[in-house]
């Protein structure tokens, strides 16, 4: 297969638009792990363009589903009756995206029909509408049974290889009407690979994590989130595997009383008592999770808050009361992920934080 450069799923939409604009006659083939959002991006693009989406799943499709079956016409001759989802794309004034999903899981005989479709935009004498764009997609990885594509068919596509994008997924989730925020914080603090990884327990994808959020946000809205912990654990593990489920629930239980977003957005007077209680009780693991979360949030979907006076005041107060080793660690994390929150902070405040940390660390030696 042609080895194209990798494109972030967050940039897939504009990449497709550029291809449609400057190479409209070409078919596009998107490859990447399952559940990364390929079909979602294509659907959103149709909505953005105001055109129909013609979605055809090729795994299990028969050649006659594409090519049509003989049907007697009014003049006594036979015509080929197309499947309903394809009929409209062959109208002269048709426009939209013909999305051929699961291309590399199609039978070889189906790929022969696809060859004709992408080679000359025709199928059994019927011609695609001039404004119909052809986009195919396939899942890659050792876990999938795939059909090898012939070199002749392969070179008829513009190949686009996509990769999961944690920041793009977090932006997408943040824009949803209903989302379970602790899950975003959990993902935000983990390595990017957690979004798309095959483990001995599950094939974990952005789509699976989205379903976890959907489930928990609905349970939370119904007031049943805390009452059925064992049931919820079972459902979550059924989506992402037992290990990730346990890790996530442990994270939620650890940070339930105070979240990174509280530290960034709420008034310090409201949360100061909780923070100081965690410090006085020696809950360093909880405080460390909060530090990780604050740095990740400000370096990603919360970057607009770096210049906010409440955020800067809260972080200054937080850095002053944290144990010195955690305060120093958070400063390093912020310099790496969200330096503007520190560069915009009052210089005297930063000097005081540095002095406090230095004194405590020297005393500890």
- DSSP codes, 265-277: HS-HHHHHHHHHH
CA distance 139 to 146: 9
User: Alpha-carbon distance 260 to 330, whole Å?
Assistant: 12
Question: What are the pLDDT digits (tens) for 325-356?
Answer: 899 889 999 999 999 988 888 888 888 888 87
User: How confident is the model at residue 255, as a pLDDT?
Assistant: 66
Average pLDDT value for residue range 39-55? 93
- CB-CB neighbours of 8 under 10 Å: 14
> pLDDT band at residue 362, thresholds of 50, 70 and 90?
very low
Q: Which of 146, 153, 148, 140 is nearest to 113 (CA)?
A: 153
pTM of the prediction? 0.69
What confidence tens digit (pLDDT) does each residue in 77-125 have? 545 445 566 778 888 899 999 999 988 888 888 888 888 888 888 887 7
- Give me the pLDDT at residue 344, please: 86
Q: Please, what are the domains in the chain?
A: 6-163 (3.40.50.300), 167-255 (no CATH), 260-364 (no CATH)
The residues near 301 (Cβ < 8 Å, ≥ 6 apart) are 167, 170, 171, 174, 184, 188
- Which has the minimum average pLDDT: 52-66, 291-305, 325-339? 52-66
Half-sphere exposure of 154 (CA within 13 A, CB side): 11
pLDDT class for 365, splitting at 50, 70, 90? very low
Judge whether residue 148 has pLDDT over 90. Answer: no
- Tell me the mean pLDDT in the region 269-278: 88
Q: How big is the chain by its Cα radius of gyration, in Å?
A: 26
Question: What's residue 258's pLDDT?
Answer: 81
CA distance 105 to 166: 27
Q: What is the pLDDT of residue 158?
A: 93
| DSSP letters for 329-345 | HHHHHHHHH-THHHHTS
What is the rounded average pLDDT of the residues 261-275? 89
């Amino acid at each position: 297969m042609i080895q194209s450069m990798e494109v972030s799923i967050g940039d897939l939409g504009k990449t497709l638009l550029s291809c449609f604009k400057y190479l409209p006659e070409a078919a596009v083939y998107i490859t990447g792990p399952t559940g990364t959002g390929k079909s979602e991006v294509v659907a959103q693009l149709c909505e953005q363009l105001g055109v129909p989406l013609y979605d055809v799943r090729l795994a299990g499709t028969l050649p006659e589903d594409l090519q049509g079956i003989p049907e007697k016409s009014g003049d006594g001759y036979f015509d080929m009756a197309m499947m309903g989802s394809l009929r409209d794309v062959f109208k002269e004034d048709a426009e939209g995206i013909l999305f051929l999903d699961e291309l590399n899981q199609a039978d070889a005989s189906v790929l022969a029909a696809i060859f004709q479709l992408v080679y000359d935009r025709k199928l059994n004498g019927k011609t695609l509408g001039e404004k119909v764009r052809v986009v195919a997609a396939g899942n890659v990885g050792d876990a999938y049974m795939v059909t090898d594509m012939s070199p002749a068919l392969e070179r008829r596509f513009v190949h686009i290889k996509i990769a999961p994008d944690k920041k793009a997924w977090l932006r997408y989730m943040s824009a949803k009407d209903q989302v379970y925020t602790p899950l975003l914080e959990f993902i935000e603090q983990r390595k990017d690979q957690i979004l798309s990884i095959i483990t001995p327990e599950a094939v974990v994808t952005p789509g699976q994590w989205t379903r976890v959020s959907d489930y928990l946000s609905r349970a939370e809205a119904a007031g049943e989130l805390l009452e059925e912990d064992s049931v919820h654990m079972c459902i979550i593990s059924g989506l992402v595997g037992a290990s990730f489920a346990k890790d996530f629930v442990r994270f939620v239980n650890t940070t339930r009383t105070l979240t990174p977003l509280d530290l960034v957005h709420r008034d310090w007077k409201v949360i100061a008592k909780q923070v100081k209680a965690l410090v006085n009780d020696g809950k360093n693991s909880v405080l460390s999770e909060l530090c990780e979360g604050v740095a990740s949030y400000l370096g990603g979907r919360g970057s607009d808050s770096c210049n906010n006076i409440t955020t800067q005041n809260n972080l200054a107060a937080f850095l002053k009361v944290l144990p010195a080793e955690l305060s120093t660690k958070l400063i390093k994390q912020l310099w790496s992920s969200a330096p503007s929150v520190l560069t915009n902070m009052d210089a005297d405040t930063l000097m005081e934080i540095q002095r406090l940390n230095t004194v405590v660390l020297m005393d500890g030696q």
